[in-house]
Structure 1
Amino acid sequence: MSGLEIKAVEPGSAAFAAGLAAGDRITAIGGRPVRDIIDYYFYLAVAEPELTVRRGEKEFNVRLAAEAGRPGLSFVSPFGRIRRCANRCLFCFVDQQPPGLRPSLCFKDDDYRLSFWEGNFVTLTNCTRRDIERIVAQRLSPLYVSVHTTNPELRARLMGNPRAAEIKAQLAALAAGGITLHTQVVLCPGLNDGAELERTVRDLASFFPAVRSVAVVPVGLTAHRAGLYPLRPVTPAAAAALIEDVTAWQREFRRRYGSRLVFAADEFYLLAGKAVPATKEYEGFPQLENGVGLVRRFRDAWKRVARRLPETTTPCRAVLVTGTLAAPVLRPVVARLNAVAGLEVTLVPVANRFFGTSVTVAGLLTGRDICAALATLFREGLRPELVVVPAAALKDGRLFLDDTTCAAVAQQVGCRVVAAAGPHELVAALGVKLARRSFRKE
């Protein structure tokens, strides 16, 4: 059914005053059909918009009060049917998941509307000419696009979809329409690296300033790849070589465009044992959610927190859980915390048995693996009163990927379990009160 079904109406809002109610369906605004939440806000941006509403079998029009840009409505399904991914990527992480995960983790979306609305990466393989026209007409910018390669034949092969070959024409149309693009390349050794990667990077750079960033991220491989294409992991040597290439491209692009444009994911630096770039070199962190600059942001935040740590605090024995990749980042943090009298913090890097030990990021840890790692330490005599887990591993602050809850982990390990997303949340969880903020330049 077309239109948007109203889930709730805020009391006292313009929609409330107009008599709208839960269950009503908005089918048009100003005579133009409403397909989703994007149409809704786009057409709503006029003085006193007129809404066509269906209530049961009846249809009527209501006019909202002036300046009702956010009239107080929420909707049952803001985007209607989400577009599924039509690709069969050789490196798809969803295809490598163990059985039994909740359905939402196995759903492959590839919807340009979610790219604009939530920052999801999309491939554009299911975008029609009319979709491109809509993106341009409604200024759905920026978009986040998974490119992987600009070689048409290779992209079609990598993504298992002949339409993938159209990527350069699609990017050109979006760029000509004034759409800002953030792009990514999932690096698969032996397939889209080396000369192919350089070709891709230079092709994307040719679309500057429409293409504002290119992130290179390593392919993620789990232990559940039976029957899948035999991909190779990125080695430390390959990571170091990639960093050298990215550094050289950044120097060139900064001279040519005034922007470094291409960025390597943090995982390459950690894998190669190299220092992550300085804050200014990330140019505002355009792809932070893609793992580009998270370590630098964490270290900058920790530096500010560390300056304000007290000499002593209320006693607390705690365990800090992380993935094996981030352990070198957190070791100096734990050492500094343990210099505060009263704190006894133990760092526990947890091997990922759920997805396989090649998966090393903290955000993919499960409750079962955390419990197993802690049980080993408890048998050795460790008895903490608090376990701090990475917030990135939880949905809505409570649920791990294996559907284990924080409460269940706490019950099994016999102490409090809290999640922390950064240095400030970490020290707060430990009960540490920071000194007053310094006004000197940091």
Structure 2
Amino acid sequence: MVSSINSVRKRPMADRLVKQVLFRSVQNYNILPLTSCCNVSCLFCSHRQNPAGIEAYFLPPLDWETVEDLVMFLSPQKKIVIGESATRIMEGEPFTHPRMMDILRLLRDKFPLTGIQLTTNGTLLDEKKVSLLKSLEPLEINLSLNSCSPGMRQIIMHDNLAEEALKAPARLQVAGISYHGSIVPMPWITGWQDLAQTVFFLEEKGARTIRVFLPGFTRYTEEKLQPPPGWEKELLAFLKDLREKCSVPLTIEPPGLLDLKPIITGVIKGSKAEAAGLRRGQMIISINGLTPFSRVEAFRLLSEPGKYEIKVTDGGTEHIIILEVCPGEKSGLVMDYDLPLSLATEILNLTKKAEKVLVLASEWGEPLLREALHKTMRPGIDITIVPVPNRTFGGTIKSAGLLLVEDFLKVIEDYVQDQEKPDLLVLPGLAFDDRGRDLRGRNYQDLVERTGCRAVLV
């Protein structure tokens, strides 16, 4: 979402709430929050121009004792993530934490073999830090570059260290540190040439993949920052053309998928998948004789060590490809995220205790969920799937995580005017925290009281 820097509401959290949210982030997601402080101010920052009353928590740099307490609850079985957020804590630039390098040493001492994933804007990645990062492998960097032009980084990120940030890709490349580049494109401000140059700059500097995050805009976005009509269609066409020319896998998020076909988005250069003969655009028909349910399931199957016989189709021609993934290796396969089979199974299991089920989905998720249930649903089950517009945020927002109780309530009230009232409401869990509260603190049980329908989160 885009907004004015002055509109961000930074609310220091009470001690009890701080601990709850921090430990939930660590225990549920293996994310180690360190600070909400940031040394840039991006026009596309997701905390800009929120509706009134949205809960977004600002976290000052954590003290050393708190960091040590949190580290005790990290899992060594999953990668440790720093610089991202899956809760209502505002993510910041991790290298602004005064003891960032000490924290990384602490993590490596406690978890010598666990991968660490760092998201950074690159401004503070000097040669000394890059050298230390190399000594702390295995780790991976997500580099939010956004533009390869110092002038454009200054405009869209208010980055006073743009020249230094643009040295980061080469430093990581020379050090041999695996990294992924990311771009939030705003070509109506930077120009189309800047977007293309940034993609090819990251390709030249050794990025493993390039992630393009489509910017979101709410009804509160300043008019001067809003894109022109038809921008999304034009941008997607431009990115499709870039994908054809770029040798590095280029992903678009959200991918705007309408089906669950396990089509390969890209293959990382030098990977096992590339050596085996897998290529972008191929569709996986079967893996060791099993038909994958979706992209997610195909990727999951091929992420485990083992030897795989993969049947793919490419332009109507079927091929058999043998892929062997050894322990500790990654296949190098890149696929868009759609839906796991477990989600469809969970919803279908709920129908055993209800005769008429109303499934409420985000506008992005609805077509995928509809196909998933169609593929798995038994005859005689009465399930209706309805997309829920993000009326509160408005603009181009279509995600489940930004839906509020009032958005769901409007759709339910409209539905029951013409249809029989459902026995069960199925709501996306992404819209609520672990206490069942939406982004304004309203509990989903309010829907039960207002509609008289039982409700569950999935």
Task: Give the TM-score taking structure 2 as reference length.
Answer: 0.60
SS in 2 for 1:191: helix
> Aligned equivalents of 1:274 and 1:340: distance in 2?
21
Give the counterpart of 1:278 among 256, 263, 283.
Answer: 263
Tell me what 1:156 maps to: 154
Tell me what 1:55 maps to: none
Q: Given residue 153 of structure 1, which amino acid in structure 2 is its aligned partner? A: G
Q: Give yes or no for the alignment of 1:350 onto 2:388.
A: yes
Q: Give yes or no for the alignment of 1:373 onto 2:415.
A: no
Q: Given residue 336 of structure 2, which amino acid in structure 1 is its aligned partner? A: G
Tell me what 1:170 maps to: 168
SS in 1 for 2:393: coil
Q: Give yes or no for the alignment of 1:202 onto 2:240.
A: no
> Aligned equivalents of 1:239 and 1:79: distance in 2?
34
Q: Which moved more, 1:117-126 or 1:163-172?
A: 117-126
Number of positions where the alignment pairs a residue of Structure 1 with one of Structure 2: 321
Does structure 1 retain, via aligned residues, the 8 Å contact 2:121–2:144? yes
- Write out aligned runs for 1:398-417 (5 A): 398-417=436-455
Give the counterpart of 1:325 among 336, 358, 364.
Answer: 364
Tell me what 1:87 maps to: 40
Change (3 A) 1:277 1:205: farther
Tell me what 1:223 maps to: 219
Tell me what 2:92 maps to: 109
> Aligned equivalents of 1:337 and 1:378: distance in 2?
26
Q: Give yes or no for the alignment of 1:301 onto 2:341.
A: yes
SS in 1 for 2:188: coil
Change (3 A) 1:407 1:83: closer
> Aligned equivalents of 2:230 and 2:130: distance in 1?
35
CA deviation profile, 1:311-343 (whole Å, cap 9, x unmatched): x966531111111223232333455566521x2
Q: Given residue 247 of structure 1, which amino acid in structure 2 is its aligned partner? A: R
CA deviation profile, 1:104-161 (whole Å, cap 9, x unmatched): 2473511156999885632123455554444333337211111111122211221012
Q: Given residue 194 of structure 2, which amino acid in structure 1 is its aligned partner? A: E
Does structure 1 retain, via aligned residues, the 8 Å contact 2:36–2:90? no
> Aligned equivalents of 2:383 and 2:435: distance in 1?
22
Q: Give yes or no for the alignment of 1:241 onto 2:220.
A: no
> Aligned equivalents of 1:230 and 1:80: distance in 2?
31
Tell me the CA shift for residue 358 of structure 1: 1.8
SS in 2 for 1:294: coil
Tell me what 2:249 maps to: 261
Tell me the CA shift for residue 350 of structure 1: 0.9
Change (3 A) 1:108 1:321: same
> Aligned equivalents of 2:238 and 2:89: distance in 1?
31
Change (3 A) 1:226 1:345: same
Does structure 2 retain, via aligned residues, the 8 Å contact 1:221–1:359? yes
Does structure 2 retain, via aligned residues, the 8 Å contact 1:221–1:233? no
Q: Given residue 53 of structure 2, which amino acid in structure 1 is its aligned partner? A: G
Does structure 1 retain, via aligned residues, the 8 Å contact 2:173–2:205? yes
Change (3 A) 1:262 1:240: closer
**Structure with the greater relative contact order (CA < 8 A, sep ≥ 6): 1 or 2?**
2
Tell me what 1:29 maps to: none
Q: Which runs of 5+ in 2 are unaligned?
A: 1-26, 58-87, 108-114, 269-298, 304-333
CA deviation profile, 1:383-422 (whole Å, cap 9, x unmatched): 11211122222333733222222333333332232222xx
> Aligned equivalents of 2:439 and 2:229: distance in 1?
23
Q: Given residue 163 of structure 1, which amino acid in structure 2 is its aligned partner? A: L
SS in 1 for 2:184: strand
> Aligned equivalents of 1:407 and 1:315: distance in 2?
18
Change (3 A) 1:144 1:337: same
CA deviation profile, 1:276-297 (whole Å, cap 9, x unmatched): 77047466599xxxx97122xx
Q: Given residue 353 of structure 1, which amino acid in structure 2 is its aligned partner? A: R
User: Of the two, which has the highest radius of gyration?
Assistant: 1
Does structure 2 retain, via aligned residues, the 8 Å contact 1:110–1:122? yes
Does structure 1 retain, via aligned residues, the 8 Å contact 2:259–2:367? no
Tell me the CA shift for residue 349 of structure 1: 0.8
> Aligned equivalents of 1:344 and 1:151: distance in 2?
55
Aligned sequence identity (%): 20
> Aligned equivalents of 2:230 and 2:144: distance in 1?
19
Give the counterpart of 1:340 among 355, 367, 379.
Answer: 379
Change (3 A) 1:364 1:213: same
Does structure 2 retain, via aligned residues, the 8 Å contact 1:318–1:346? yes
Does structure 2 retain, via aligned residues, the 8 Å contact 1:90–1:228? no
Does structure 2 retain, via aligned residues, the 8 Å contact 1:188–1:232? no
